[in-house]
Structure 1
Amino acid sequence: MFTLLFRKMRNTKWMVLCLLIGFVMASAMMSTIPIYMNASLQRMLVKDLESFQTEYDIYPGAYNTSYGLKMDISGSEQQKAVENYNNKVEAKFKELGLPEKLDKKYISDEYLYVRSLAVSDGNSQARFTLGGMTDISDHISIKQGRMFTAGKRSDGVYECVATEKAMKSTELAINTVYEIADVFDDNNSIKIEIVGVFDVKDENDAYWAEGLDSQYTAVVFTDYDTMLGDCVDTGVVNITKAVHNYAVDYASMNMTDLASTNEMIAKQKTYFGENSIGFSMPASDILKDYESRSSQLQLVLWLLQIPVILMIIFYLFMVSQLNVEQERNEIAVFKSRGASRLQIMGIYALESLVLGVLTVIIGPFAGLGLCKVLGASNGFLEFVNRRSLPVHMTIEAVVYAAIAVAVFFVTTMIPIVPATKTTIVEHKQSKAKKKKHALWEKVCLDFILVGGSVGWLYYYNKTQEKLVAEGVTDTTATVNPIMFVASTAFILGLGLFLIRIYPYIIRLLARIGRRVWSPAQYVSLTNIGRSSTGRERFLMLFLVLTVSLGVFFANTARALNRNAEESVAYGVGCDAVLTEQWYSSKIESAQQTTPQSASQTAQSGTKQTSEESDEEDTETTIQYVEPVFERFEKLAGVENVTKVFRKDDVTISSNKMNVPRQQTKSDDEEKTRDDFLDQSVDTSSGKSSTSNVQLMTIVPSDFSKVCKFEDRLLPVQLNNYLNALAEYTPGVILSSSFKSYGLELGDTVECKWGGNEPFEVTVLAFVDYWPGLSPYKEAKNGGYMDFAVMNYDYVNVQTSMEPYEVWFKLKDGASVQEFYDSIDKAGIKPLTLESASQQTIEKKNDPMLQGMNGALTLGFIIIMVMCIIGFLIYWILSIKSRTLQFGILRAMGMKFREIIMMIVYEQLLVSGVAIFAAIFIGGVTSDLFVPLFQSIFDASQSVPPFAVIPERSDYLKLYAVIGVMLLTAFVVLGRLIKKIKISQALKLGED
């Protein structure tokens, strides 16, 4: 049997190779799940911890403990207590199993003084702390003098080192011997000498995570072992405090045991508390929060693999089916010559087993290599020079690969079972029989899949709308795994519908043009219309699935990345926004200061009324000095710049505004955004008003050159609104939420804030979105704020000048770093500085987005490779099985060129139509199902709304892959046809 097996594999080595490639890709894909998932989760944790360190200047991997010793115990008891304490801490840290970066012990005596500097009343002018720290010499640099020597010198002096700050604090000098004693017992004394002044070697060293200057201001350091031994034995030095700290190498933490680690940390807090040991671990809260975030990322990465896994199963089933179809005659001969079904199945099972063993060995390493490449993904099929993912081989990856091999072994054996039932006679008879409809056609599986997917989509969208309206933003609760299955089922259903109707369309075309078709065209149409073997239908379905999923993955990745980029661009509003401190002065006066025009560089102010004092009101005017605006135009890389004034808590009132009605909706009724708006009534004036308004004033002509905005967010282009505001300066553009107040176009409203006099503006338009203004910005009371946009010059005349923002548009290709440097050189000291490009980079570095980009890119690559291989397998089998047909056609007078054209026509009618149909189906699927990915984010406050907008570059990448596939196929098939000796194809007994 083994001899027969290896001969068979040798004779069909190209088919075996294709099966092996499929097996390897399948197992590699499966093994990437644990490898890539663990690496992505670890990257997410590391980024969270790095952000924590940057924000709070605390090393997050610190494992800090401290222990206070009693002062009335002997030296030997102190040494024993410190040793017991260190042993407990060491045992507990090892229990966690976290990677250790460093281990530091510290002891100190805080009650020492220098006798020679004591004054007559006995109080020391030179109180200091003597401390000992392990491995201190490896983490400091000596600035003056030298490092201390361990032990006592021959003259009885103990050597020490100190920082310059500590020496100033203690009034001690270098190279001077001091006699020190205990504050509470000065009968005995020892001598010390500071022989060196040091500083930290590396400020970012985890060794000094707690801070040198803040924690060791008055500490003089000596050797740890010397202090704990000789110094304590003298009876002068008493250990009052012991510290044992670890630094965890969080970049090497194992994500798989994180849940148990959090549980053990909680238990250790209780244990240390019961033993009077102080304990702190800055990363503990991050690790707790990480559990929920990691489960979310893990779920998303798993779900993204569902279509790919289904595609791999379909690929292997198709290849196996084609292989069995090719060898059905051989199987029937075996059956007729007395071979049992078990023996025949055993041959193919052994073949799959051999391939499976090779796959288990190769697959996990192939998956590891893929993960290393995908770690640099910055978008869909976009790679940057980024630090690689911390990927490593795990037993879990090998197990996944083995499971994949087991599943695909069963998949490849399924077509073998019915083939072993047929003898050679039955096989020949079956070729003459009319093919029956397949089971899926009889049960209308295509209609079931499409109808079920659309029905589920409608139900899911309705459910999501309710969740968003109720403010539910827990993504782990709203992400539904069925949405990934439904999208694949929708594609499969449309693909099945295509291959159901396509033979009838081809037959109709053949009948309509039978008088005009050339022989090559007619034979091609006839072959496809009959589709006797079903191979053409199988190939078309395969191409529809692969190409449609490729389009779906491309549009999914593009939508996710576009959403990230647009949210940043909308929030910032332009390339960069800067604010700086303005000089101001307060003047108390009962007379109003006349504000100056915005076009003048002068002093202006905002009036505020102080509290009543001695029955007399006074007005406090804050006068600001506007900086020279022209400085900003000269900064490096700046193309345009404009002034934008923003103010929150502005009051808008009008006689036409409706009195807000009380909300009486029950809990089960759908809520709208208006339910969250803050409205009030000014009963004194009879006007209705709202004070939760964010105001933006702009210079329309300059604003249009600077702002970034998607035109699809407004019914007409943004410049139309800017033109209206420029032509009618006392106008205002309000958020659409003002419509619920009863306001209409042309109404006059009153605007006021602070000590300014109210002024009137006319409503020019209502909009849902505006650059830099979020319709979901929360007010102090928890509601949503409205917004208003006005003309800067008009408002500046009506009110006192206040500090404004400076909005920049940078030149194409301008360096953000050069822009920052030019700000420093110009002497500008920003209070705030936002850069859209920097925020976009941070957004794209988000582990969730990176993980999804990598998973989608991986899925696309796998699917496209399977598409190429499956495409080649079909056409190679098709050419080999039709050698006799080619010989007959040649014998009937058809030229060799016409045979080539016949194959080209078949390529176009089968592969070409399937690919074009797949692109259309992929686009429809993207429009329907990609918006469901917004549930991964906070969909209730997504600004701008999540949108699926295909990118031409993504389709060009897809077309490039398809073009390479077709070109490769033509080259291979051309070489194969040239090798076929068509003139010798007609032989006696050839079938």
Structure 2
Amino acid sequence: MIQMVLRKMANNRWLQLCLLAGLVVTVALVSSIPVYTDAVLQRMLVKDLELLQTDDNVYPGSLWSRVYVRDEDDPAKAVRSIAAIDAYATEAGERLPVPVVHYVRERESVQFAAVPAAEGGADPTVDRFAKLGAIEGLETNAKLVDGRWPDPAAAANGVYEAVVFGNALNKLRMVLGNEFHMVLRNQPGPVTADGKPIVVKAVGVVEQASERDLFIYGGNTARYDNVFLLPFDTYVASFGGADQPLRPLTATWYYAVDHTELTLDNVRQYMRVGADLERFMTPLFETHAVNNAAGTTIVSYFDREEQLRKLLWALNVPVLIMLGVFLFMVSNLLVNRQKTEISVLRSRGASRLQIVLSYATEGVILGAVALAVGPPLALGLTTWLGASNGFLTFVQRAALDVRLDAEVYRYASYAVGASFLMTMIPAAIAARATIVERKREQSRASKRPLWQTIGLDLILIAVSLYVYSDFERQMSRAVSLGAAGQQVAVDPLLFFVPALFMAGFGLLLLRIYPWGIRLLYWSGRKWWPPSLFSILLDIGRGGARYHYLMIFLVLTVGIGMYSASAARTMNQNLEDSIRYAIGADLRLTTRWENNAPPPTMGGAPVPQAASADEAPPIVQYIEPPFAPYESLPGVESVAKVFVKKDAFMESQTTNGAVQLYGIETDRFGRTAWFRNGLLQHHFNEYLNLIAETPSAVLVSRTLAEQRSVGVGDTLSVRWGSREPALFTVYGVVDYFPSFSPLPEKDAPVMTDGTPVAPMMIVGNLSYIQNRIALEPYEVWMKLEPDASRQEVFDAIRERGLPIMNANDTRERLLRMKNDPYQLSINGVMTLGFLISVLISFIGFLLYWILSMQGRAMQFGLFRAIGMSFRSLLGLLAVEQLLTTAAALVFGIGTGVLACRLFVPLFRLAFEPSAQVPPFRVLIEAADMIGLGALVCVMILAGFAALGWIVSRIQMHQALKLGED
């Protein structure tokens, strides 16, 4: 049997190679799911921790815990508990799965009054309050900047030498060498040990070894401004016992670990150590604290990990369905070609089991090769996917951390097993027929396909439309409730259900298509040449042999279209939201000199009025030079944009709070970003409308509708205690750069229950400055396409321009494109699109080549009755147009319809109640052109291959084959 299988595979080597190619691609794709998932999740973990450090200025590898000893706590029990935690914390540090950079123990006493021990030292009239403390390892991890390190032996004489951080000298009004008695609250005299007063003496000043040093938790030494730091062993020996005169107040344990070593394999163990430490402390001290700096980030990471795994599976399901159809089609072609051979074997005594086992042996051989080649190929696919920066866009990016492990081969085994079963189905069905049944089947008309009998097309369409309606209800509810997510989280069904819809709709078209061919045949039956009758009749009567090819092409092309549209739509809408929210390539907030009073303890300057009846004094500002911004390198245009969020508008009939924008129309039009199609006319036409008249303004649609303001109305606008200015409405706009017309969550409601939406007025900057006030404006910049942000910011620093804040569109876009969800969607959908193109081409050529080989007798008969070679080629061209071209057109149409129906549902992932500018579906012409080019290439290549095959058919051999 094995010898027979090998010979059969050799005789059908091209078909076997195509089947093997499909198997390898399937195994590689399935294997890439765990590889890519783990790689993206690892990158997501690293990026989340990096953002925690850059955005919040928190070192992610900090694990800090502290206990507090209360006045009512038993000192002896507290000391024993601290010793127990010491032992447990040391053991816990050994269980941390990442390298420990620092393990630090700290102690602090209760606060005492530091009274000068001798005359002529520190000023005795100054009240000083300080603590005694100790940091283990301070001598080897801090830098001595003045004085010397303490001598532990001095404690035997009753003088405890200590070091302090620099600010402590100022806060405690002392110099090195001053000695102080410790005096506790509610005690008449100094604290004593063995009858001697406890004296502390600062002998040195220390500071952090470097700004990047992790030894001090959080890098903040300000909390030691009133702490005398003793050697750790001295502190524990002198004040660590239950009978010591100075009761401990706090004990701290701090780990600084190398967070870059956190991986998917050890991050849960890292979190478990922190949780175990807190669990151990809880029964020992009622007042305690444990802070894992990365804890919240990692917990949210676990939630995103689960969502991402679901998303990646959903992204790959349509492609897996397509590959399954391809494998089934190729297996069916292989078995159909060998049905006569199978029936002969059955008639000569072979059992069904033996025949199925022969095909199973063939499948095992191919599966073993696919299992060996697929996983390594998955690594290459994953590395390639990691470079995606958009749909069909790739950049030089740090490679994903990929590896092969047992899970990858487990997934590969599942893929091989599923593919094996898929390829065995046609063989098991064919093995039932004997030679008599085979001849009877060939002599009878084709039976109606099973999918038409059970109405599979209608079932798939009904299921997909039901899920579609459910998504529509979710989206309507989200908009009405003002629901908003914090990140892009796409429901996996948005990728799976469209594949069902495209399959069902494609099958429906195939159900209807033969009727169209029959109509075509009937309309021209008096004029069609005889050569076309066989094709039109065959397709019109059902054309069963074309079904696999046509549904396969419909599905692959449709999935390709949907993948392209979904990926481009998500990318473009995210990019539009970021660009619109910022308004320009670079948006700078500058510092203006002013006469405002200094800030209060709360941080904000509060101008004080002379009396209760007087308004606060008006702050006067000095405008900094604007010309230096125009000459920055890489800057194409610059605009002054005044934004007042708390302005107030009054008209003859109404009033209300508004956002006031002051612009220079010409500069603003050349600088700001605005998407075409948001307004009835081009954006610049509205700017030109108010350019000639200083008092002309544009108002938002929300202001016009909520306050009944129209073109020609006069408005009075002011803010604070400034004098108002009069404006005339020249136009109404729905959108304006950086302005969101959508209500906020906590917005007040009007009498009809509608939330009050933000309202806006846009006027000329010079008129606002002259009539109301000169106040700080923002600087908006449009940069040249290849401008370096680094050069711009370097030039700003060199020129000393007073920048307080900067919003960079490119930086936000890069962060968006590096988000794991975007990486997954762009990478996997790019792969799905390219696999669709590749499999379509392979499946097309394979089908037609095998079809032509199986119809050699038919073509020989056509030549024998006098049909010319040119007429035969014309026959083949018409057949391809009526099948292949029609299937590709159906596929493009099905894909476009699926895009129109399902891609708008991606608004659920983009905060549907806060999507500005409005969500839009993109179907790029480039993708349509690409698929059109694919159609042309496939038809031309197929036509050339078929012509070559037909030209090699010998009429006498074809007829002899028919006799056999």
For Structure 1 versus Structure 2, the TM-score category normalised by the shorter chain is 0.7 to 0.9
Kindly state the Cα deviation for residue 546 of structure 1 after the two structures are TM-superposed.
0.7
Give the 5 Å matches for 1:58-137: 58-66=58-66, 84-92=84-92, 98-102=97-101, 104-106=103-105, 119=118, 133=136
CA distance in 2, matches of 1:787, 1:333: 84
Do the aligned residues in 1 keep the contact of 2:239 with 2:247 (CA within 8 Å)? no
Q: Does 1:334 align with 2:345?
A: yes
Give the 5 Å matches for 1:47-446: 47-66=47-66, 84-92=84-92, 98-102=97-101, 104-106=103-105, 119=118, 133=136, 200=209, 203-204=211-212, 206-207=214-215, 210-211=218-219, 213-214=221-222, 244-255=253-264, 265-266=274-275, 268-276=277-285, 279-446=290-457
Kindly state the Cα deviation for residue 898 of structure 1 after the two structures are TM-superposed.
6.1
Do the aligned residues in 2 keep the contact of 1:510 with 1:522 (CA within 8 Å)? no
Deviations 1:521-543 (A, max 9, x none): 74894586368873333212111
Q: Does 1:920 align with 2:906?
A: no
Unaligned runs of 5+ in 1: 72-76, 153-157, 588-607, 656-686
Whichever residue aligns with residue 646 of structure 1, its letter is V
Secondary structure at 2:654 match in 1: strand
CA distance in 1, matches of 2:792, 2:747: 39
Whichever residue aligns with residue 724 of structure 1, its letter is L
Kindly state the Cα deviation for residue 200 of structure 1 after the two structures are TM-superposed.
3.3
Distance 1:350 1:141, change over 3 A: farther
Q: Which residue of 1 aligns with 2:568?
A: 558
Q: Which residue of 2 aligns with 1:593?
A: none
Distance 1:955 1:838, change over 3 A: farther
Deviations 1:24-68 (A, max 9, x none): 322332233333223323322322221111233221122223568
Q: Which residue of 2 aligns with 1:43?
A: 43
Of residues 684, 702, 725, the one that matches 2:667 is 702
Kindly state the Cα deviation for residue 224 of structure 1 after the two structures are TM-superposed.
8.7
Do the aligned residues in 1 keep the contact of 2:82 with 2:251 (CA within 8 Å)? yes
Q: Which residue of 2 aligns with 1:683?
A: none
Of residues 612, 615, 636, the one that matches 2:633 is 636
CA distance in 1, matches of 2:864, 2:217: 88
Of residues 676, 701, 704, the one that matches 1:736 is 701
Q: Which residue of 1 aligns with 2:74?
A: none
Distance 1:355 1:766, change over 3 A: same
Give the 5 Å matches for 1:409-558: 409-450=420-461, 452-454=463-465, 456-473=467-484, 481-506=492-517, 509=520, 522=532, 525-526=535-536, 529=539, 534-558=544-568
CA distance in 1, matches of 2:518, 2:361: 43
CA distance in 2, matches of 1:700, 1:934: 33
Distance 1:689 1:9, change over 3 A: same
Q: Does 1:723 align with 2:733?
A: no
Whichever residue aligns with residue 453 of structure 1, its letter is S
Of residues 606, 611, 614, the one that matches 1:613 is 611
CA distance in 2, matches of 1:135, 1:969: 78
Of residues 765, 776, 791, the one that matches 2:764 is 791
CA distance in 1, matches of 2:841, 2:152: 71
TM-score (norm 1): 0.80
CA distance in 2, matches of 1:151, 1:955: 85
CA distance in 2, matches of 1:120, 1:159: 19
Secondary structure at 2:735 match in 1: coil
Q: Which residue of 2 aligns with 1:759?
A: 725
TM-score (norm 2): 0.82
CA distance in 1, matches of 2:78, 2:511: 88
What percent of counterpart residues are identical? 35
Secondary structure at 1:414 match in 2: helix
Kindly state the Cα deviation for residue 412 of structure 1 after the two structures are TM-superposed.
1.9
Of residues 866, 872, 876, the one that matches 2:845 is 872
Q: Which residue of 1 aligns with 2:603?
A: none
Distance 1:870 1:819, change over 3 A: same
CA distance in 1, matches of 2:258, 2:861: 74
Distance 1:269 1:130, change over 3 A: closer
Count of equivalent residues = 923
Whichever residue aligns with residue 770 of structure 2, its letter is V
CA distance in 2, matches of 1:810, 1:501: 55
Kindly state the Cα deviation for residue 237 of structure 1 after the two structures are TM-superposed.
15
Q: Does 1:647 align with 2:647?
A: no
Whichever residue aligns with residue 310 of structure 1, its letter is I
CA distance in 2, matches of 1:148, 1:628: 55
Unaligned runs of 5+ in 2: 72-76, 155-159, 183-189, 598-605, 749-755
Secondary structure at 1:345 match in 2: helix
Q: Does 1:933 align with 2:930?
A: no
Kindly state the Cα deviation for residue 554 of structure 1 after the two structures are TM-superposed.
0.8
Secondary structure at 1:715 match in 2: coil
Distance 1:960 1:231, change over 3 A: farther
Distance 1:496 1:278, change over 3 A: closer
Deviations 1:684-706 (A, max 9, x none): xxx43222x21112222222111
Whichever residue aligns with residue 274 of structure 1, its letter is P
Do the aligned residues in 2 keep the contact of 1:707 with 1:809 (CA within 8 Å)? yes
Q: Does 1:8 align with 2:23?
A: no
Deviations 1:956-986 (A, max 9, x none): 5556766776677678767767877677444
Distance 1:325 1:726, change over 3 A: same
CA distance in 2, matches of 1:318, 1:150: 85
Moved more, 832-841 or 440-449: 440-449
Kindly state the Cα deviation for residue 362 of structure 1 after the two structures are TM-superposed.
3.7
CA distance in 2, matches of 1:476, 1:306: 23
Give the 5 Å matches for 1:560-599: 560-585=570-595
CA distance in 2, matches of 1:811, 1:533: 58
Whichever residue aligns with residue 3 of structure 1, its letter is Q
Deviations 1:222-277 (A, max 9, x none): 999999999999x9999978654334444444447877876775454232232347
Moved more, 932-941 or 813-822: 813-822
Give the 5 Å matches for 1:940-951: 940-951=913-924
Deviations 1:406-427 (A, max 9, x none): 3332222222232112112221
Q: Which residue of 2 aligns with 1:748?
A: 714
Secondary structure at 2:617 match in 1: strand
Moved more, 102-111 or 295-304: 102-111
Q: Which residue of 1 aligns with 2:20?
A: 20
Secondary structure at 1:34 match in 2: helix
Q: Which residue of 2 aligns with 1:910?
A: 883
Moved more, 860-869 or 716-725: 860-869
Kindly state the Cα deviation for residue 3 of structure 1 after the two structures are TM-superposed.
2.5
CA distance in 2, matches of 1:459, 1:368: 38
Do the aligned residues in 2 keep the contact of 1:41 with 1:255 (CA within 8 Å)? yes
Distance 1:70 1:843, change over 3 A: closer
User: What is the RMSD of the two structures over their aligned residues, measured on CA atoms?
Assistant: 5.0
CA distance in 2, matches of 1:836, 1:526: 58
Of residues 801, 809, 812, the one that matches 2:782 is 809
Do the aligned residues in 1 keep the contact of 2:488 with 2:909 (CA within 8 Å)? no
Q: Which residue of 2 aligns with 1:603?
A: none
Distance 1:730 1:547, change over 3 A: same
Do the aligned residues in 2 keep the contact of 1:143 with 1:197 (CA within 8 Å)? yes
